[in-house]
């Protein structure tokens, strides 16, 4: 869970996005996204899929099963 939270934050910051902007992509409130990023709440699969497509990364990368950032989905 900690790995997912860190990668969520890192991807967001690398893209210069705010939590509010990512929450908008997910169609949720910022407070809910903050809970995903802080590790307070598990990221649902539907949001995992959306974020993988948004950031062009694999789910394996996002959940920490792979460190290969080049496994990009388009």
User: How many structural domains does the chain have?
Assistant: 1
pLDDT, tens only, 30-50: 999 999 999 999 999 999 999
Lowest mean pLDDT among 10-19, 36-45, 62-71: 62-71
| CATH code at position 23 | 1.10.260.40
Q: Tell me the whole-structure pTM to 2 decimals.
A: 0.88
Could you tell me the CA-to-CA distances from 19 to 53, 56, 71 in Å, in that order? 17, 18, 24
**CA 24 to CA 62: how far, in whole Å?**
19
Alpha helical stretches, state H, the chain: 2-14, 19-26, 30-38, 45-55, 59-63
Which of these, 74, 63, 71, lies nearest to 8 by C-alpha position?
A: 63
Q: In this structure, is residue 73 part of a structural domain? A: no
Structural domain boundaries, residue 48: 2-63
């Amino acid at each position: 869970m900690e790995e997912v939270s860190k990668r969520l934050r890192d991807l967001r910051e690398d893209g210069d996005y705010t939590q509010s902007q990512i929450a908008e992509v997910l169609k949720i409130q910022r407070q809910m996204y903050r809970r995903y990023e802080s590790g307070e709440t598990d990221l649902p699969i539907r949001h995992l899929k959306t974020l993988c497509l948004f950031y062009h990364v694999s789910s394996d990368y996002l959940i920490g099963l792979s460190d290969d950032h080049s496994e990009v989905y388009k």
